[in-house]
């Protein structure tokens, strides 16, 4: 199963034709995804399920439905187990950005984090997941596929938010402050954190 976010509303992509009475289901192979997205944006739809019987083909079929923009970013943790957040568009977010031509996904993730926050000495420790959301570019709908990595750094210098990208703040946040920030973040960002972290039950969740 996958989730594609339109703002904070998830479109479910699954192998099940029926997942609940509130959901409107469409066959993934035939659905006009842009039309469905526009209905969601206008408030005419809130619960959408796109289905196909073969789980191995779900992502491939999904990525055919809309022009895809590939991006990469990081959940950066320092030696104090603080997490690096950025503040943009009145939301707390994690640093990420578009992958450039002929650039590897991992290099893209490190570069974007460095550019957006000024942090240095990043080391990727693991791949977390991919998230998917729909956005508009020059008036046209696009599907963003973002590769997320957990990163570590010993950097304790000044953080420099990339103002030209609309970033107003770059901040290290401890467990409690991260909890607060996530309440004013995006649904797809919350997906990157373990359930026990979101529930406020464990600070010792990362190496």
Provide the sign of the torsion angle of the four alpha carbons 3, 108, 165, 119, taken in this order.
Answer: positive
Q: Which three-class secondary structure state does DSSP give residue 153? A: coil
CA-closest candidate to residue 206, choices 116, 74, 88? 74
Digitized pLDDT (tens) for each residue of the chain, 207 residues in all: 999 999 999 999 999 999 999 999 999 999 999 999 999 999 999 999 999 999 999 999 999 999 999 999 999 999 999 999 999 999 999 999 999 999 999 999 999 999 999 999 999 999 999 999 999 988 999 999 999 999 999 999 999 999 999 999 999 999 999 999 999 999 999 999 887 776 766 555 554
Q: What is the pLDDT of residue 4?
A: 98
Residue given tokens 């491939």 in the structure block: 60
Q: What is the pLDDT of residue 194?
A: 83
- End-to-end CA, the chain: 28
CB 151 within 8 A of CB 122: yes
Strands (E), the chain: 2-6, 9-14, 24-27, 48-51, 68-77, 83-88, 91-93, 96-98, 123-137, 140-152, 167-173
Backbone angles phi, psi at 206, to 5 degrees: -135, 150
**How far is Cα 21 from Cα 18, in angstroms, rounded to an integer?**
8
Q: What is the pLDDT of residue 204?
A: 57
Q: Which three-class secondary structure state does DSSP give residue 190? A: helix
The upper half-sphere exposure of residue 189, i.e. CA atoms within 13 Å in the direction of its Cβ, equals: 23
Q: Which H or E run includes 37?
A: helix 33-41
**10 bridge partner residues:** 5
pTM of the model: 0.93
Q: What is the pLDDT of residue 207?
A: 44
**Residue ranges of domains in the chain, CATH in brackets:** 2-62 (no CATH), 68-198 (3.90.79.10)
**How far is Cα 43 from Cα 73, in angstroms, rounded to an integer?**
30
Helix count (H) and strand count (E) of the chain? 6, 11
**How far is Cα 188 from Cα 165, in angstroms, rounded to an integer?**
20
CB 62 within 8 A of CB 50: yes
Q: What is the pLDDT of residue 48?
A: 98
């Amino acid at each position: 199963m996958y989730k594609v976010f339109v703002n904070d509303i998830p479109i479910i992509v699954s192998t099940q034709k029926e997942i609940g009475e509130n959901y409107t289901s469409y066959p993934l192979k035939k659905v006009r995804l842009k039309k469905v997205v526009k209905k969601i944006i206008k408030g005419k739809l809130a619960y959408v399920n796109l289905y196909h019987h073969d789980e191995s083909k779900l992502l491939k079929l999904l990525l055919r439905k809309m022009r895809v923009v590939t991006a990469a970013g990081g959940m950066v943790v320092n030696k104090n187990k603080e997490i690096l957040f950025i503040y943009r568009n009145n939301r707390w977010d994690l640093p990420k950005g578009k992958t450039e031509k002929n650039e590897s996904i991992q290099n893209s993730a490190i570069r974007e984090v460095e550019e957006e926050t000024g942090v240095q000495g990043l080391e990727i420790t693991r791949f977390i997941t991919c998230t998917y959301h729909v956005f508009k570019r020059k008036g046209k709908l696009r599907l963003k596929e973002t590769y997320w990595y957990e990163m570590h750094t010993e950097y304790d210098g000044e953080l420099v938010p990339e103002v030209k990208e609309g970033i107003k703040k770059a901040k290290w946040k401890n467990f409690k402050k991260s909890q607060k920030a996530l309440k004013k973040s995006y649904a797809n960002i919350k997906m990157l954190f373990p359930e026990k972290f979101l529930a406020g039950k464990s600070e010792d969740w990362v190496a």
